[in-house]
Amino acid sequence: MTKASPEIEALAAERLAAEESRITGSRRTTVNLRTTGAEFWKHPSPWMIAAALVGAVVWRALEGDFRISDLLAPAIYVALFPVQEWLIHVFILHWRPRKIAGITIDSELARDHRAHHADPRDIPLVFIPWRSLIAVIAGLAAIGLLAFPRLGQGLTFIAVVAAAGLVYEWSHYLIHSDYKPRTRIYKAIWRNHRLHHYKNEHYWFTVTSTATADKLFRTYPDPGSIKASPTAKNLHGIDA
């Protein structure tokens, strides 16, 4: 593999070092989880997902008729969650705008994600845009209520997917916040996502885990073997 130019490598190293020192620098005031969490709940998507979660849990409790088979679909979903996360990141969030029959196809999710790459420190851009989230929640409700043989199974599935969505939103937000990593697992996730933003946007696509779907799809290389990308902050080389 050819090496990137020294200028691009230096720029990537500077970006990553500046971002990490902003949070881990010895002179920076420590930001605790309570303060970080308070900011999290100032944005609409956590409340929307939490409402879907609570609604599904309450309805499921009222429905009754709990069976072990209720857990099958949720277990499969959780096992495949890193793969889903990777696929959405690659094919929806990193969608390149294109014209089909004279009409430009470019979703709000893709537009906002380009803006997020342009300024990873802009916290509102970290979250799923609420207009798109309405469609996602409606689609989830339709699947849960119509695609399962029993209502209880569908409601359990909705609850688990909503819980996973809330975990994703929290994890992504926490990574981009000023909270300093303390555990080994979180440090790995934190570093992984920063490599995606500041080293090369074509690798390290998972957000809530590392060495899972990225390894499966061969987007988890040794960072030292990958050249820095000049478009990490300008996806596809176009304006956000």
Q: Kindly report, residue by residue over 118-161, the tens digit of the pLDDT.
A: 999 999 999 999 999 999 999 999 999 999 999 999 999 999 99
pLDDT of amino acid 22? 54
- Is 177 within the bounds of a domain? yes
User: Residues 124, 169: contact at Cβ < 8 Å?
Assistant: no
According to the model, what pLDDT value does residue 83 have? Answer: 98
Q: Give the per-residue pLDDT at 184.
A: 93
Judged against a pLDDT cut of 60, whether residue 20 lies above it is answered with no
Does 186 have pLDDT greater than 60? yes
Q: What number is the average pLDDT over the span 26-38?
A: 77
pLDDT of residue 23: 47
| pLDDT attached to residue 12 | 60
- Assigned domain for 28 exists: no
What is the predicted pLDDT for the residue at 237?
Answer: 85
Domain around 119: 6-19+44-237
The answer to the question of residue 24 being in a domain is: no
* Closest to 235 (Cα-Cα) out of 204, 206, 200, 210: 200
Q: Where are the alpha helices (DSSP H) in the chain?
A: 6-24, 33-40, 44-63, 72-88, 108-118, 130-146, 151-176, 184-198, 213-216
Q: Is residue 148 part of a domain?
A: yes
Stretch 65-86: mean pLDDT: 96
Distance, in Å, from the CA atom of 125 to the CA atom of 99, rounded to the nearest integer, reads 25
The confidence score (pLDDT) of residue 101 equals 87
Q: Is residue 32, in this structure, part of any structural domain at all?
A: no
Number of domains within the chain? 1
* Residue 82 half-sphere exposure toward CB, CA atoms < 13 A: 16
Residue 68 has pLDDT above 70, yes or no: yes
Section 203-219 average pLDDT: 97
Taking the model in full, what pTM does it have?
0.86
| pLDDT tens, position by position, 105-129 | 999 999 999 999 999 999 999 999 9
Is 1 domain-assigned? no
